[in-house]
């Protein structure tokens, strides 16, 4: 029986701010160089995003096209990343809103039994391999071997959790205590919450405790049976949600209202800590959940001063630090055990042992409604991207890139007018009932209230400068009349 990979890509990755933002979280970022052990298809030091690495990690397993679970607002980013690295068949299950891992996995399991055609299944009740899209695994062969060892256990009806042999007394992970041997694994004696440092040290010495990776393998029916036993309310809500499906190309949508009524719970709390069917298989594959900037220092290639640097960085008397520059020169002098992250609109400087406190900064951003919480200056859209160059009370300047063959929606604005200047490529402009072409160094003006559209009919990216002026410049001042991407 082939495995159905279920890739959980709905997180926000707030602990990796300012690089990870709510509308471009860490699973879509290129953070870690691939290795020959990790990806057979990748050249050493080649960077893929964490999502791309997760999908490519399936090489070597007999599996069906993966089902990626992500937020509605991330669907085009995810689809473009899989297309960009040549990943063919796949499906996206779009969560109307986050409800944690137990409901998300329940939706995937229900799709396989009640709507197998929606996920291109030839048979029902497959083995679900549940993976997080934002983890790192350095040893691809060890990952594949652990999954293959777990298959007989999952086929027999067991719910398999993958445990990671601990390398340090980590207080940021939950733990699994192993019990008696069971096939290629062990019965689960206990799931343990994140411990304090003394307890974590005891776990490390005992050799009976493993990090809980958040990866699982089980039959869809086995999971649904246990979920119905311990959380029937959650299962019922998910069953109602899949009764009304909308399939749009590769995107699968469930009933929004029904899913909104679903309780939020993790698979650990809802099922794994309660069931008698849980077993654990060890996976010693160089795993990390990439949960903080310090993890990237541990995973990165270090120089002679034990620094990990990326981008345009100069250092003097700097040691044991992680320094990343995305858009300009960053220079450090006389620093030790620090993290410095530079982006186009924010800079983070933190002691390496305090990086978990980034969540306090994120909380302040949320409380004060700062745009740096949600977006980068560079924002991706299904047609391309735009970068905010300048803004004031009544003006905003954007650098817009439209990919070949793509088109922005037919739209109008109530509060702003726009000037467009083509820098390179060719633009097909619709304004009212007129349509014409603009080429390099040509421009046009879109008055307030006029229906308009922009398209790239050419073979190269369209680059243009847009100057907006008006009393309100928010992205929600867009009235769409036609949109090929299904946006309202």
Q: How far apart are CA 43 and CA 33, in angstroms?
A: 9
Contacts of 280 (CB under 8 A, 6+ apart): 160, 161, 162, 163, 176, 178, 185, 186, 187, 188, 210
Instruction: State residue 120's pLDDT score.
Output: 67
Q: Say yes or no to pLDDT of 39 above 70.
A: no
Q: How far apart are CA 411 and CA 28, in angstroms?
A: 29
Q: How far apart are CA 351 and CA 320, in angstroms?
A: 11
3-state secondary structure of 318: coil
Do 383 and 422 lie in one domain? The reply is: yes
Do 26 and 74 lie in one domain? The reply is: yes
Instruction: State residue 42's pLDDT score.
Output: 46
Question: At which of 288, 319, 341 does a domain end?
Answer: 288
Q: Say yes or no to pLDDT of 86 above 80.
A: no
State mean pLDDT over 36-42: 44
Question: At which of 315, 332, 359 does a domain end?
Answer: 359
Q: Say yes or no to pLDDT of 461 above 80.
A: yes
Do 313 and 385 lie in one domain? The reply is: no
Identify the residue with better confidence: 187 or 46: 187
Do 231 and 153 lie in one domain? The reply is: yes
Q: How far apart are CA 79 and CA 119, in angstroms?
A: 15
Is residue 182, in this structure, part of any structural domain at all? yes
State mean pLDDT over 325-343: 97
Is residue 434, in this structure, part of any structural domain at all? yes
Q: Where are the alpha helices (DSSP H) in 182-219?
A: 197-206
Task: For residue 47, list its beta bridge partners.
Answer: 33
Exposure string for 411-424, b = 16+ CB within 10 A, e = fewer: bbbeebebebbbee
Task: For residue 461, list its beta bridge partners.
Answer: none
Do 267 and 316 lie in one domain? The reply is: no
Do 321 and 221 lie in one domain? The reply is: no
Do 241 and 263 lie in one domain? The reply is: yes
Do 388 and 415 lie in one domain? The reply is: yes
Is residue 297, in this structure, part of any structural domain at all? no
Is residue 368, in this structure, part of any structural domain at all? no
Do 55 and 191 lie in one domain? The reply is: yes
Is residue 39, in this structure, part of any structural domain at all? yes
* Residue pair 144/63 in contact by the 8 Å Cβ criterion: no
Instruction: State residue 37's pLDDT score.
Output: 42
Q: How far apart are CA 389 and CA 374, in angstroms?
A: 17
Instruction: State residue 1's pLDDT score.
Output: 67
Instruction: State residue 43's pLDDT score.
Output: 46
Which pLDDT tens digit goes with each residue over 53-80? 999 999 999 999 999 999 988 998 998 8
Residues recorded for the chain: 488
Q: How far apart are CA 400 and CA 142, in angstroms?
A: 44
Question: At which of 257, 288, 319 does a domain end?
Answer: 288
Radius of gyration of the chain (CA): 24
Q: Say yes or no to pLDDT of 394 above 90.
A: yes
Q: How far apart are CA 398 and CA 441, in angstroms?
A: 16
Q: How far apart are CA 203 and CA 146, in angstroms?
A: 22
Q: Give the strand order in the sheet containing 443-446.
A: 378-381, 384-391, 395-402, 462-470, 416-424, 443-446
State mean pLDDT over 217-230: 97
The beta strand positions in 284-356, using DSSP E, are 287-288, 308-310, 313-316, 322-325, 330-333, 338-342, 347-351
Do 31 and 57 lie in one domain? The reply is: yes
Instruction: State residue 33's pLDDT score.
Output: 76
**CA torsion angle for 346, 473, 395, 400 (degrees, to 10)?**
70
Which pLDDT tens digit goes with each residue over 303-314? 999 999 999 999
Do 334 and 448 lie in one domain? The reply is: no
Chain-centroid distance of CA 416 in Å reads 33
Which DSSP state fits 21?
B
Q: Say yes or no to pLDDT of 32 above 60.
A: yes
Which pLDDT tens digit goes with each residue over 123-145? 778 999 999 999 999 999 999 99
Instruction: State residue 45's pLDDT score.
Output: 47
Which pLDDT tens digit goes with each residue over 399-429? 999 999 999 999 999 999 999 999 999 999 9
Is residue 70, in this structure, part of any structural domain at all? yes
Is residue 295, in this structure, part of any structural domain at all? no
- Peptide bond preceding 484 in cis form (omega within 30 of 0): no
Is residue 174, in this structure, part of any structural domain at all? yes
Q: How many domains does the chain have?
A: 3
Which DSSP state fits 357?
G
Do 17 and 117 lie in one domain? The reply is: yes
Report the CATH number that the domain containing residue 155 is assigned in CATH: 3.90.550.10
Instruction: State residue 315's pLDDT score.
Output: 98
Report the CATH number that the domain containing residue 414 is assigned in CATH: 2.60.120.10
Prediction pTM value: 0.90
And the tokens for 470? Answer: 């008006």
List the domain range (segments joined by +) for residue 98: 3-288
């Amino acid at each position: 029986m082939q495995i159905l990979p279920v890739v959980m890509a709905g997180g926000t990755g707030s602990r990796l701010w300012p690089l990870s933002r709510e509308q471009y979280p860490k699973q879509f970022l290129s953070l870690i160089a691939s290795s020959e052990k990790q990806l057979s298809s990748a050249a050493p030091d080649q960077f893929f995003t964490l999502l791309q690495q997760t999908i490519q990690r399936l090489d070597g397993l007999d599996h069906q096209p993966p089902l990626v679970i992500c937020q509605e607002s991330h669907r085009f980013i995810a689809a473009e990343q899989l297309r960009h690295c040549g990943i063919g068949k796949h499906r996206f299950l779009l969560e109307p809103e986050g409800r944690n891992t137990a409901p998300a996995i329940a939706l995937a399991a229900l799709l396989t039994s009640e709507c197998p055609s929606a996920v291109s299944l030839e048979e029902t009740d497959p083995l679900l391999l549940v993976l997080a899209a934002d983890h790192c695994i350095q040893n691809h062969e060890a990952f594949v071997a652990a999954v293959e060892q777990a298959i007989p256990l999952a086929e027999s009806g067991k719910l398999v959790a993958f445990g990671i042999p601990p390398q340090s007394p980590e207080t940021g992970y939950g733990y699994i205590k192993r019990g008696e041997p069971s096939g290629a694994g062990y019965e689960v004696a206990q799931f343990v919450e994140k411990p304090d440092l003394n307890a974590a040290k005891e776990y490390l010495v005992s050799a009976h405790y493993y990090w809980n990776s958040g990866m699982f393998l089980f039959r869809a029916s086995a999971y649904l049976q246990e979920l119905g036993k311990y959380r029937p309310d959650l299962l019922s809500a998910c069953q109602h949600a899949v009764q009304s499906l909308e399939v749009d190309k590769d995107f699968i949508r469930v009933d929004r209202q029904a899913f909104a009524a679903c309780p939020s719970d993790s698979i650990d709390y809802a099922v794994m800590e309660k069931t008698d069917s849980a077993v654990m298989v060890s996976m010693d594959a160089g795993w990390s959940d990439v949960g903080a900037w310090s993890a990237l220092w541990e995973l990165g290639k270090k120089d002679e001063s034990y620094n990990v640097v990326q981008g345009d960085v100069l250092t003097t008397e700097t040691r044991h630090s992680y320094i990343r520059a995305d858009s300009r020169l960053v220079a450090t002098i006389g620093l030790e055990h620090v993290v410095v992250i530079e982006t186009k609109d924010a800079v983070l400087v933190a002691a390496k042992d305090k990086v978990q406190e980034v969540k306090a900064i994120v909380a302040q951003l949320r409380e004060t409604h700062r745009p740096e919480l949600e977006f980068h200056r560079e924002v991706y859209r299904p047609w391309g991207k735009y970068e905010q160059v300048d803004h004031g009370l009544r003006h905003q300047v954007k650098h817009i890139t439209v990919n070949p063959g793509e088109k922005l929606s037919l739209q109008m604005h109530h509060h702003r007018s726009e000037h467009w200047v083509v820098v390179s490529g060719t633009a097909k402009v619709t304004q009212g009932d007129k349509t014409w072409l603009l080429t390099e160094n040509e421009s046009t003006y879109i008055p307030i209230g006029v229906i308009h559209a922009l398209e790239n009919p050419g073979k190269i990216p369209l680059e243009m400068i847009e100057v907006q002026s008006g009393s309100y410049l928010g992205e929600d001042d867009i009235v769409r009349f036609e949109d090929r991407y299904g946006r309202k």
